[in-house]
Structure 1
Amino acid sequence: PNGTLINGTRWPVFTSTEQKYLTLNTDTSEILTKLRAQQCRFWKFFFPKVLEMTGNIDEAEREWKAGFHRWNNYMSDWKNQFNDYTSKKETCAG
C-alpha cells in the first residue's frame, strides 16, 4: 500500500482524490479506482436528503389521522341521517 512493486504491478498509494486500489486475487492484479463509490454516494448524499424530507413525517401523519378521523365521523353522521330519511319514506301529498 505504499507504492511498492507486487508481481510486476506497482501498488498505488491511496489518496482521497484518486482513490486507487490494487485488486488481489488469483488472476492478474489490477489497479482500479473508487471502490464502492456508488454505494457510498447513496449514504453520503441521497440518504441525508431523504431524512431531511421525511424528518417531520410524524407531524404530517398525526394531521392526516386527525383529518381522517373527522371525515370518518362526518360519514357516520351522514349515513345515520340518510338511514333516518330513507326509513321514514315520506311521500309528497298532492
Structure 2
Amino acid sequence: MSERLRSDLLTKLCVQYPAWMILSVVFISLPDIPIPSTEMYLDHVFAVLFMAIPFLSECWSIIENLREIVEDNLIDFGMIYLRIIEIIKVWRGHG
C-alpha cells in the first residue's frame, strides 16, 4: 500500500469516523427536542445523520473508484435524476 493511502486510511479510521460517532453520541444525549407535527426528535435526526455520514462517505468513495476503473458511464447521476423526474411525471399523470 502506498504511504498516502495508509495515511488517509489512518486519518479516516482514527480521527474522522470516531469524531462523527462521538458527535452522534453527544447529540443523542441532548434533551429531546420534538419536531412539530411529527413523532421525531431533532436531536435524534442529527444523531442518525452524523452516524450515516461515514457510511455515505464510503459509498461515495466506492462509486468514485468504480467510475475510475470503468471507462464508460457506470453511474451517471444526471441520467438517474432525469429518470426519477420522468417516473414522478408518469406517476402524477403528466407524462
Greater Cα radius of gyration, structure 1 or 2: 1
Q: Same fold (TM over 0.5)?
A: no
TM-score with structure 1 setting the length: 0.33
Write 1 or 2 for the structure with the bigger share of strand.
Answer: 1
TM-score with structure 2 setting the length: 0.32
Write 1 or 2 for the structure with the bigger share of helix.
Answer: 2
